[in-house]
């Protein structure tokens, strides 16, 4: 798993690539927290489309990103294509609190 | 169960760095059924959930062996058994409820729910103090010859 971020105006895009399971989750959470507290953004996008694999560990990663963003007054959206990753996040009901794009 | 056409058993030390190995070994082995990408991801996810559970819950604070057995049968089904000799589960039906977890804030209690919805069959047996056995089956749709 690797994390890269891009800034476009006031929007921060955090892109995850590789595989996200239990082994990678703690590192992912800490890097995402760093990215989100690294400046002043109004919006952030957590881009999961580059992940070739994700399991239920991704639920906590997205939830923690959401809470960190909320505390920093950043509006967070999650970018994910149809498939297993989206079904996992929907099963946990995350679409009720976070915008999926 | 129909006739077994191929089978593999892998023993893993319950270290989190072996989770991706378990998924890769599984993918490699079931390639012979030519699953589509969704079927492959569903099975990989279910196995990742079961193996992670053995590591995180079964062998919490300890290190033990996890056995993964994969069989392919002539009706195009993948049968997977994940076994640990960890702490076991007190109440299986409670454990299988969505959002139920005994883990920390990194766990969401969705593992069994995901295994159940991504696979055709899921059965869990467990004895406190003895360990847990998770069995799953999924049928791979036959591709049309082109
Ligand atoms: N192999 C196991 N050994 C002991 N207990 C287990 C095992 N697998 C599951 N459990 C118990 O069942 C509960 C539910 O498991 P499930 O996978 O559904 O959720 P979780 O692991 O807590 O969270 P998530 O899978 O979403 O990260 C666990 O919290 C744990 O108490
Ligand atoms: Mg789990």
| pLDDT 10s digits, B20-31 | 999 999 999 999
In this predicted structure, what is the pLDDT of residue B28?
A: 98
Contact B108, A63 (CB under 8 A): yes
pLDDT digits (tens, 9 = 90+) for B81-92: 999 999 999 999
**A21 closest CB neighbour out of B20, B37, B41:** B20
Q: Is the pLDDT of residue B79 over 70?
A: yes
Q: At B19, phi and psi to the nearest 5?
A: -60, -45
Q: Is the pLDDT of residue B109 over 70?
A: yes
In this predicted structure, what is the pLDDT of residue B69?
A: 98
Q: What is the mean pLDDT of residues B101-126?
A: 97
Q: Is the pLDDT of residue B144 over 70?
A: no
Residues with CB under 6 A from ligand 1: A 56; B 49, 53-54, 57-58, 84, 86-89, 95, 100-103, 107-112, 132
Q: What is the mean pLDDT of residues B75-83?
A: 98
pLDDT band at B145, cuts 50/70/90? Answer: low
How many whole angstroms from B44 Cα to the centroid of ligand 2? Answer: 14
CB contact under 8 A, A87 and B117: yes
Q: Is the pLDDT of residue B60 over 60?
A: yes
- Whole domain around residue A32: which residue ranges? 2-100
Number of domains chain A contains: 1
Question: How many Å lie between the alpha carbon of A55 and the closest alpha carbon of chain B?
Answer: 6
Question: How far apart are alpha carbons B72 and B1 in whole angstroms?
Answer: 10
Q: Are strands B77-84 and A11-20 parallel, antiparallel or unpaired?
A: unpaired
Q: Which residues of A touch B105 (CB under 8 A)?
A: 60
How many whole angstroms from B8 Cα to the centroid of ligand 1? Answer: 25
**Residue A2 touches partner B, C-beta closer than 8 Å:** no
- Mean pLDDT by 10-residue block, N- to C-terminus, for chain A (101 residues)? 93 97 97 89 96 98 97 96 98 97 94
Report the SS3 class of residue B123: strand
The residues near A50 (Cβ < 8 Å, ≥ 6 apart) are A15, A16, A17, A18
How many whole angstroms from B112 Cα to the centroid of ligand 1? Answer: 7
In this predicted structure, what is the pLDDT of residue B61?
A: 93
Catalytic site residues of B? 49, 53, 107
- To the nearest whole number, what is the mean pLDDT of chain B? 96
* Partner residues linked to B48 by β-bridges: none
Tell me which of B14, B18, B19 to substitute to probe the interface with A (most A C-beta atoms closer than 10 Å): B19
Q: What is the mean pLDDT of residues B112-118?
A: 98
Q: What is the CATH number of the domain that holds A17?
A: 3.30.750.24
**Residue B49 touches partner A, C-beta closer than 8 Å:** yes
Question: How far apart are alpha carbons B66 and B96 in whole angstroms?
Answer: 20
Q: Which residues of A touch B114 (CB under 8 A)?
A: 55-56, 88, 91
In this predicted structure, what is the pLDDT of residue A10?
A: 87
pLDDT digits (tens, 9 = 90+) for B4-19: 999 999 999 999 999 9
Residue B84's nearest CA partner among B69, B71, B99, B104 is: B69
In this predicted structure, what is the pLDDT of residue B143?
A: 77
Q: Is the pLDDT of residue B146 over 80?
A: no
CB contact under 8 A, B45 and A25: no
Class of B4-139 in CATH:
alpha beta
Q: Which of B27-31, B37-41, B104-108 has the lowest mean pLDDT?
A: B104-108
Q: Is the pLDDT of residue B59 over 90?
A: yes
């Amino acid at each position: 798993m690797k994390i890269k971020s891009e800034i476009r105006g006031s929007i921060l895009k955090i892109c995850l690539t590789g595989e996200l399971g239990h082994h990678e989750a703690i590192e992912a959470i800490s890097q995402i927290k760093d990215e989100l507290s690294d400046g002043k953004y109004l919006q952030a996008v957590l881009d999961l489309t580059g992940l070739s694999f994700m399991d239920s560990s991704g639920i906590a990663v997205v939830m923690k990103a959401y809470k960190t963003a909320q505390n920093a007054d950043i509006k967070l959206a999650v970018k994910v294509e149809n498939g297993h990753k989206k079904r996992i996040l929907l099963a946990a009901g995350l679409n009720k609190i976070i915008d999926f794009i | 169960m129909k006739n077994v056409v191929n089978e593999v058993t892998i023993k893993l030390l319950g270290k989190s760095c072996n989770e991706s190995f378990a998924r890769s070994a599984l993918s490699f082995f079931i390639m012979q059924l030519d699953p589509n990408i969704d079927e492959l991801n569903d099975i990989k996810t279910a196995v990742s959930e079961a193996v992670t559970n053995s590591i995180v819950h079964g062998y919490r604070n300890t290190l033990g062996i996890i056995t993964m057995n994969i069989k392919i049968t002539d009706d195009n089904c993948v049968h997977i058994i994940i076994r640990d000799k960890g702490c076991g589960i007190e109440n299986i039906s409670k454990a299988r409820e969505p959002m139920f977890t005994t883990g920390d804030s990194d766990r969401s209690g969705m593992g069994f729910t995901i295994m159940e919805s991504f696979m055709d069959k899921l059965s869990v047996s467990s004895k406190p103090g003895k360990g847990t056995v998770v069995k799953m089956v999924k049928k791979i749709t036959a591709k049309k010859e082109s």
